[in-house]
């Protein structure tokens, strides 16, 4: 089986919500020497993007989306250790507190961002999903974080990102942290408009922007 066929099977496993197939083809991808990030971006994400389209066109419903999410997570559990092994590990001293913000339980994208940050040597504190902004700030204070990163896929949760920045200002902590935001409905323009320091379209851009900001703002 060639690389493209393996990637297509990974996409199909997400579309059909088949956890076993997803795990099986994640293993096959690694055995075939496919880069774990390629397997994620060109296999799993391709499938999830199709699921998103079908869901918005009402061709499928929530239970199918949930099954797709489980299949994606199953494959990620196999690809993540491989991605971490390939990581550069040069930024160990930089700490990131990350979470999906209040009201939102979508965490696949946030998990990918967290994974790629880890693979690039960041020390990541992942608070999970539906995380109150106060918890993000408390954790950042507790661990001495450099970056607070917030994710959301729901437009109804976007205002909490703005609240996060306001609360940091209120507490006199705004200059202490780099704030990054991202997720489906979040745009570069909107991120700038609320005064966030950084935005990323995807996990790879998130890492690139985090590194640039660390160097520019914190000299790390
Ligand atoms: C899978 C999914 C679910 C799963 C989530 C499982 C899970 N554990 O995450 C389940 C079934 C649970 C679900 C539930 C719901 N969902 Co849903 N879901 C999706 C779907 C199909 C895919 C999302 C996904 O995982 N994408 C793959 C990941 C890898 O991509 P990503 O999240 O965008 O992340 C990348 C980038 O955005 C970026 N990024 C992400 N976070 C961050 C953070 C930072 C700091 C940076 C820099 C970058 C960054 O990097 C990531 C990796 O490359 C989308 C459709 C879509 N087109 O997105 C709908 C979608 C997000 N869901 C939607 C809705 C409405 C819901 C529900 C409210 C439905 C309901 N009626 O109950 C509930 C949410 C309940 C709640 N309180 O949260 C809407 C949101 C509309 C909106 N804009 O507000 C969408 C867009 C579907 C639609 N077209 O209507 N959903």
pLDDT band at 83 (very low <50, low <70, confident <90, very high): confident
Question: Based on the domain organization, do 107 and 138 belong to the same domain?
Answer: yes
Mutate which of 153, 180, 182, 213 for ligand 1 pocket (most atoms within 8 A of beta carbon) = 153
Question: Based on the domain organization, do 166 and 208 belong to the same domain?
Answer: yes
- Quote the pLDDT of residue 59: 96
Q: How far apart are CA 41 and CA 171, in angstroms?
A: 39
Asked if pLDDT for residue 91 goes beyond 60, the answer is no
Q: Which domain holds residue 202?
A: 95-218
- Quote the pLDDT of residue 89: 56
Helix, strand, coil abundance in the chain, percent, nearest 5:
60, 10, 30
- Quote the pLDDT of residue 86: 77
Would 14 be classed as within a structural domain? yes
Q: How many domains does the chain have?
A: 2
| CATH number of the domain to which 14 belongs | 1.10.1240.10
Give percent of the chain with pLDDT exceeding 70. 97
Question: Based on the domain organization, do 80 and 170 belong to the same domain?
Answer: no
- Whether 118 and 90 have beta carbons less than 8 Å apart is answered as no
Asked if pLDDT for residue 208 goes beyond 80, the answer is yes
Q: How far apart are CA 184 and CA 199, in angstroms?
A: 12
The pTM score is: 0.93
CB 184 less than 6 A from any atom of ligand 1: yes
* Average pLDDT for 32-47: 93
Question: Based on the domain organization, do 7 and 61 belong to the same domain?
Answer: yes
């Amino acid at each position: 089986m060639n690389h493209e066929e393996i990637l297509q099977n990974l996409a199909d496993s997400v579309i059909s919500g088949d956890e076993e197939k997803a795990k099986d083809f994640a293993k096959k991808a690694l055995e075939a020497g496919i880069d774990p990030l390629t397997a994620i971006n060109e296999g799993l994400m391709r499938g999830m993007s199709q699921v998103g389209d079908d869901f918005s066109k009402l061709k499928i419903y929530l239970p199918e989306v949930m099954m797709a999410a489980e299949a994606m997570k199953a494959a990620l559990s196999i690809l993540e250790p491989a991605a971490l092994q390939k990581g550069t590990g040069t930024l160990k001293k930089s700490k990131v507190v990350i979470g999906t913000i209040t009201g939102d339980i979508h965490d696949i994208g946030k998990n990918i961002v967290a994974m790629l940050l880890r693979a690039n040597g960041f020390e990541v504190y992942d608070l999970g999903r539906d995380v109150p902004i106060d918890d993000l700030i408390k954790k950042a204070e507790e661990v001495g974080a450099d970056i607070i990163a917030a994710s959301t896929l729901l437009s109804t949760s976007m205002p909490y990102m703005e609240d996060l920045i306001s609360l940091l200002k209120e507490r006199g902590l705004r200059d202490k942290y780099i704030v990054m935001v991202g997720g489906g409905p979040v745009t570069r323009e909107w991120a700038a408009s609320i005064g966030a320091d950084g935005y990323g379209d995807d996990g790879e851009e998130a890492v690139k922007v985090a590194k640039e900001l660390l160097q520019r703002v914190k000299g790390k």
